[in-house]
Amino acid sequence: MDHDSYWYQYFAARRDVELYLGLGSIAFALISTATGKTLVKFQGIVSRVEDAKGFWWNVAVIGAMGAIFLGLFLLGPS
């Protein structure tokens, strides 16, 4: 992305969005782990008992996305 582009300047100025997305994703992963139910694309709400592999895969992906967003927030341009 070009440093003089509109979108680069917009995202560089709005760093708080990365923080909110990161915290929200990690909170969603923790709530899903605690309740044993998560929201899966094209399947709706899936229980840990019904589909354990799909449940943990979805929780891991959401947690990783949260960690990436928090990393972008912490290591991004100052």
Per residue in 38-75, pLDDT (tens digit) is 988 888 898 999 989 989 999 999 999 999 999 988 88
* 31: pLDDT strictly greater than 60: yes
Please indicate whether residue 28 or residue 5 has the higher confidence score (pLDDT). 28
With respect to residue 9, please indicate whether it lies within any of the assigned structural domains: no
What domain range is 34 assigned to? 14-75
Token readout for 39 is: 């929201």
* 76: pLDDT strictly greater than 70: yes
Q: How many domains does the chain have?
A: 1
Q: Is the dihedral of CA 46, 44, 26, 60 positive or negative?
A: positive
With respect to residue 36, please indicate whether it lies within any of the assigned structural domains: yes
* 78: pLDDT strictly greater than 70: no
For residue 25, which of 49, 57, 56, 60 has the smallest C-alpha distance? 60
With respect to residue 6, please indicate whether it lies within any of the assigned structural domains: no
The predicted model gives 17-46 an average pLDDT of 92
**What pLDDT sits at residue 5?**
77
With respect to residue 5, please indicate whether it lies within any of the assigned structural domains: no
